[in-house]
């Protein structure tokens, strides 16, 4: 029996998520507890709570939990959504995402203090995943309110993750290699990371707290200048304190070759590539030829959607049964500050407009962390699932898809049509996942 394309798209998304979940990728990389010292664990990100569970189970089984101390920081509300009991030996201290709050600052301070406490006989284990940059807030040269306002402005300006984290690294006491700099007495520093960034750049994942920073204060200043026009148009100013901090040589980060990294090791344990490979396998099993556009797709969400729609329409015209897959992180240039949506929803709605009226095409666009846009709440949607009838369905309810897109207001439109993908936190994060199914026989 032919599988319903909506069901297949949902299964592909869930398969992509499972391929990068800590339950399947973390334990085999965990280090031994040092014989005469402690294993000190710190970390942050969308996968932090699940990583804590896996680590605690591992060291309990090894009979070494008494030598383990640690604290990990997931987003607010994530602990309550765990399928298993909260860890008893590794603390969880939640913070806010996508912009930091006081809890993020407290959590970063706790991680900083734990890292600074390590000795020669200890091992520092750092567990990172997407979202860590916001969840660990340790402002340098500015206060938390200023850093939060700057983060919000950069998000709305359309800055990509590399730009965002270049700026954040130079305004932090913990990012850009500075966590490693306070733990130089550790016998060993091991970072295990789940990548959520195109290219899997360690300096960008969580803003690279344990790796050298190849960017400079001048780079950060240039990004602000580049994005300032858009921020000003939205009524968002760059505070003078930020400019002063980025002019201060004391806020430069440690670079490649710095001795603070002499005992530091870094491993990426799950990537967007892993997620796409699993989804591709499921599509092939269902009889689709896979066109894999890669895990590094970037650009304005609506423009990328238009490009992908042209590919889908061409395949449909040729009568091909095809699955078009892509990962990476798109951007949304906000034109309406009151609109509700996210980059996956914006892509999905733009795609739906472009394929409207052509039968046999369905698509999903969703963030693998389970949260797309919004305020980072656990109830926010992950993205949306659309078909070639989505625009007509909206019109029948007296809604106009193009107007919703122009207003960056995809959420209400898609919600009315029950097209949102809402599943709560996945406890991992390997960035956006997109799949388009073209079946000429539908």
Q: What is the DSSP letter of 8?
A: H
Instruction: Provide the pLDDT for residue 44.
Output: 98
pLDDT at position 98 is 86
What confidence score (pLDDT) does residue 229 get?
Answer: 64
Region of 428 please: left (phi>0), alpha (psi -120 to 50) or beta: beta
Domains of the chain by residue range: 5-14+273-438, 22-138+173-215+253-270
Beta bridge partners of 421: 383
Q: Which stretches of 29-130 are assigned E, i.e. beta strand?
A: 39-44, 68-73, 91-92, 123-128
What pLDDT, on the 0 to 100 scale, is given for residue 1? Answer: 53
State phi, psi for 206 to the nearest 5 degrees: 60, 20
Please classify residue 324 by burial: count the beta carbons closer than 10 Å to its beta carbon, then call 0-12 exposed, 13-18 middle and 19+ buried: buried
What is the rounded distance in angstroms from the CA atom of residue 257 to the CA atom of residue 237? 36
Separation between Cα atoms, residue 279 and residue 315, nearest integer Å: 19
pLDDT value at residue 294: 97
Sheet holding 322-328, edge to edge: 289-292, 322-328, 432-438, 361-367, 383-387, 420-421
What does the pLDDT look like over 162-175, one tens digit per residue? Answer: 898 899 999 999 99
CATH 3.30.365.10: does it fit domain 22-138+173-215+253-270?
no
pTM: 0.92
CA 240 from chain centre, in angstroms, equals 29
5-14+273-438 placed in CATH 3.55.40.20 = no
The position carrying tokens 């706790």 is 110
For residue 320, count other CB atoms closer than 10 A to its CB: 15
Cα–Cα nearest to 209, from 248, 165, 157, 243:
165
Which residue from 439, 305, 301, 285 is spatially nearest to 359, judged by alpha carbons? 439
Q: Which long-range contacts (CB under 8 A, 24 or more apart) does 198-202 make?
A: 198/161, 198/272, 198/295, 198/296, 198/297, 198/298, 198/327, 198/328, 198/329, 198/431, 199/296, 200/268, 200/271, 200/272, 201/162, 202/266, 202/268
CB within 8 Å of 361: residues ≥ 6 apart? 312, 313, 316, 355, 387, 388, 436, 437, 438, 439
CA distance 140 to 217: 13
pLDDT in tens, 172-203: 999 999 999 999 999 999 999 999 988 899 99
List, in sequence order, every residue forming a beta bridge with 188; answer none if it has no partner.
123
Taking 50 as the pLDDT cut, the residues of the chain under it are none
Bridge pairing between strands 322-328 and 123-128? unpaired
End-to-end CA distance of the chain: 13
Average pLDDT, rounded, for the chain? 95
The first and second tokens of residue 366, run together, are 């969703």
């Amino acid at each position: 029996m032919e599988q319903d394309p909506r069901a297949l798209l949902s299964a592909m998304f869930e398969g992509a998520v499972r391929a990068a979940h800590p339950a399947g990728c973390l334990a085999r990389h965990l280090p031994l507890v040092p014989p005469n010292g402690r294993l000190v664990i710190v970390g942050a990100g969308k996968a932090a709570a699940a990583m804590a569970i896996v680590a605690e189970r591992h060291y309990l089984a090894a009979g070494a939990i008494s030598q383990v101390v640690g604290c990990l920081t997931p987003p607010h509300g994530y602990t309550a959504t765990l399928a298993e009991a909260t860890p008893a030996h590794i603390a969880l201290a939640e913070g806010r995402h996508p912009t930091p709050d006081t809890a993020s600052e407290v959590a970063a301070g706790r991680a900083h203090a734990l890292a600074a406490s390590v000795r020669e006989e200890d091992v520092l284990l750092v567990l990172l995943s997407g979202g860590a940059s916001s969840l660990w807030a340790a402002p340098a040269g500015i206060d938390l309110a200023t850093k939060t306002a700057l983060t919000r402005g950069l998000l709305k300006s359309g800055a990509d993750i590399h730009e965002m984290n270049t700026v954040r690294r130079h305004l932090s006491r913990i990012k850009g290699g500075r966590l490693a700099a306070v733990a130089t007495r550790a016998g060993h520093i091991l970072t295990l990371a789940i990548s959520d960034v195109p290219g899997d750049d360690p300096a960008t994942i969580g803003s690279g707290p344990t790796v050298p920073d190849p960017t400079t204060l001048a780079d950060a200043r240039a990004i602000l200048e580049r994005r300032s026009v858009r921020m000003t148009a939205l009524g968002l100013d760059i505070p003078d304190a930020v400019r002063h901090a980025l002019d201060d040589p004391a806020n430069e980060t440690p670079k490649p070759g710095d001795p603070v990294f002499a005992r530091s090791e870094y491993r990426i344990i799950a990537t967007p590539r892993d997620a796409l490979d699993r989804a591709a396998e499921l599509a092939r099993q269902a009889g689709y030829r896979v066109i894999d556009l890669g895990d590094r797709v970037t650009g304005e969400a609506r423009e990328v959607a238009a490009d992908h729609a042209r590919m889908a329409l061409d395949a449909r015209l040729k009568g091909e049964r095809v699955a078009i897959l892509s990962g990476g992180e798109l951007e949304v240039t906000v034109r309406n500050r009151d609109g509700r949506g996210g980059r996956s929803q914006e892509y999905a709605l733009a795609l739906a407009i472009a394929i409207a009226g052509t039968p046999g095409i369905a698509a999903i666009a969703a963030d693998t962390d389970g949260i797309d846009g919004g305020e980072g709440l656990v109830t926010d949607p992950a993205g949306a699932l659309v078909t070639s009838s989505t625009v007509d369905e909206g019109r029948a309810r007296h809604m106009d898809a193009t107007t919703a897109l122009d207003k960056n207001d995809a959420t209400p439109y898609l919600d009315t049509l029950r097209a949102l993908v809402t599943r709560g936190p996945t406890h991992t994060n390997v960035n956006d996942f997109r799949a388009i199914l073209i079946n000429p026989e539908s």
